[in-house]
Structure 1
């Protein structure tokens, strides 16, 4: 039997799915992404091809591969990696950014995809067929609304309030608990000594817990995170995206209703003609849909 292989390669995990060309599910696998890097291109292509082969059902033959990958953040890079993957896998292949999987995964032919997870980015296919990106600069200077960026801004807000002598907000103690420190100085030291997205991202639930307990600073952080993601949508619309739908996904967006609500409300305020959807199916569904197009 022949199968199509689709991959959603995120910052934390990679989801593989194998389906028949007619759409019958064959196999799924979820594996860690810690060794993934979108560069160098040849090594990235081999990484994908090896993963597809390693998890391929033994009785099936893969006839097309499509992947949405974190770190593939411009059209030239995606095209180059797709060409290298075609060579490495020996079958037709295509690579795009992982956010570009959201629109086909939602069953739509056009739209803007917005991911908020370990990172954040917005992607649209412009009328001429080219990919357009907004955001995705990395958590140190951007990635608004992502898990590490929310933690970054929450820590800043909590420490600023502490410096003013105000101990009424619950955000600081919940962040201290999450980071395993006993005071504000320890929090500042820890976040500076361990400045990695992988260390900060798991602490994001503390921000949402603080918001649920009435923290003004946590709620403001979440609201601003949603607005930052909506700004990415506006940037793509200004570049001619010309869509009516926005599809949101990613670990933070799908698991934290507060962020999704902040994002949806900000988009509605700025672009009342857009409909925002929270993706129900896994984004890898979009990768399989792209692989299917390679067969037509």
Structure 2
């Protein structure tokens, strides 16, 4: 039995799928393992290589697969969206192949996690489509009928990532500060956020936020406070989530203008879509109202898309 490996490497976790090479549909009982994040711009390319090697090796042992049975590996990695990044990662991948006794000529895909996610999200009958991702960060990617790839977003948390977990967290912090000053409406996000950070009063946020540098994911995790407050009908939280959904719709509009039809499949992925009913429902409503396409749930996860991209052509 031959296998292809599909890897979805994010900033906080990495998922590795061992897919039987003759299966082009997502299995009912997938062979999947997870490990720590492998975004090379967060942890360095060398460390990303070490983590990927350890994860693949663990998978080989867990599923009792020999390296000779692997005929392709797809690496869909966060932070790998530019040619120079792909070239740098190719050298790391060659080291992985060497360390795990894979063939140097093993078929491989090395690219962004968004491309792998798009491939996995669209069903096998979809010839074109658009995927919007909202997790720690945000971006969108689409494939047209000619196979052309179109991207929007992905500018990072300092100048982009609108509609993401990081975006929601900044909005939450700002609105909590406004409420404390009397410049804004009181919100349930205040006690939720203080409890999450183990702080006593809003003024403590200044010391916590500015007292030391914070990683992107540390700030982004505060988005759970917005989502939880929205579940309790907090008006401020609901407003933030709907505004975030509108930002994500703008991503779709940008790509849709590039020759996509009104019946294009539009789908979404990422933790924010998964956990926020308010954001997801508003997003779908706006997609339909603006007639940008037809919303469908994603067919399969990104690691499946990475595996498909690594299957050798006959």
Q: Does 1:66 align with 2:110?
A: no
The gaps in structure 1 that reach 5 residues or longer are none
Question: Post-superposition shift, 1:116?
Answer: 1.1
Divergent runs of 4+, >6 A: 39-43
The number of equivalent residue pairs is 292
User: What residue number does 2:222 align with?
Assistant: 203
Question: Post-superposition shift, 1:262?
Answer: 2.4
Q: Equivalent residues in 2 for 1:142-157 (5 A)?
A: 142-157=160-175
Q: CA RMSD in A?
A: 2.8
**SS at 2:15 equivalent:** strand
Q: Does 1:187 align with 2:205?
A: yes
| 8 Å contact kept, 1:4–1:62 | yes
* 1:245/1:64 CA distance change after superposition, 3 Å: same
Select the residue among 263, 266, 270 that pairs with 2:286: 266
Question: Post-superposition shift, 1:87?
Answer: 3.7
| 8 Å contact kept, 2:169–2:221 | no
Find the aligned partners of 1:199 and 1:58 in 2 and give their Cα distance: 36
User: What residue number does 1:37 align with?
Assistant: 40
User: What residue number does 1:21 align with?
Assistant: 21
| 8 Å contact kept, 1:244–1:273 | yes
* 1:172/1:67 CA distance change after superposition, 3 Å: same
Select the residue among 288, 293, 298 that pairs with 1:279: 298
| 8 Å contact kept, 1:7–1:288 | yes
User: What residue number does 2:8 align with?
Assistant: 8
* 1:171/1:43 CA distance change after superposition, 3 Å: closer
| 8 Å contact kept, 1:171–1:218 | yes
Find the aligned partners of 2:93 and 2:194 in 1 and give their Cα distance: 48
Q: Equivalent residues in 2 for 1:111-150 (5 A)?
A: 111-126=129-144, 129-150=147-168
Find the aligned partners of 2:114 and 2:18 in 1 and give their Cα distance: 20
* TM-score scaled by length of structure 2: 0.81
The gaps in structure 2 that reach 5 residues or longer are 98-103
Q: Does 1:105 align with 2:124?
A: no
* TM-score scaled by length of structure 1: 0.85
* 1:252/1:59 CA distance change after superposition, 3 Å: same
| 8 Å contact kept, 1:66–1:291 | yes
Find the aligned partners of 1:202 and 1:42 in 2 and give their Cα distance: 26
| 8 Å contact kept, 1:78–1:97 | no
| 8 Å contact kept, 1:118–1:147 | yes
Find the aligned partners of 1:244 and 1:92 in 2 and give their Cα distance: 31
| 8 Å contact kept, 2:134–2:273 | yes
Find the aligned partners of 1:86 and 1:200 in 2 and give their Cα distance: 31
Find the aligned partners of 1:81 and 1:22 in 2 and give their Cα distance: 31
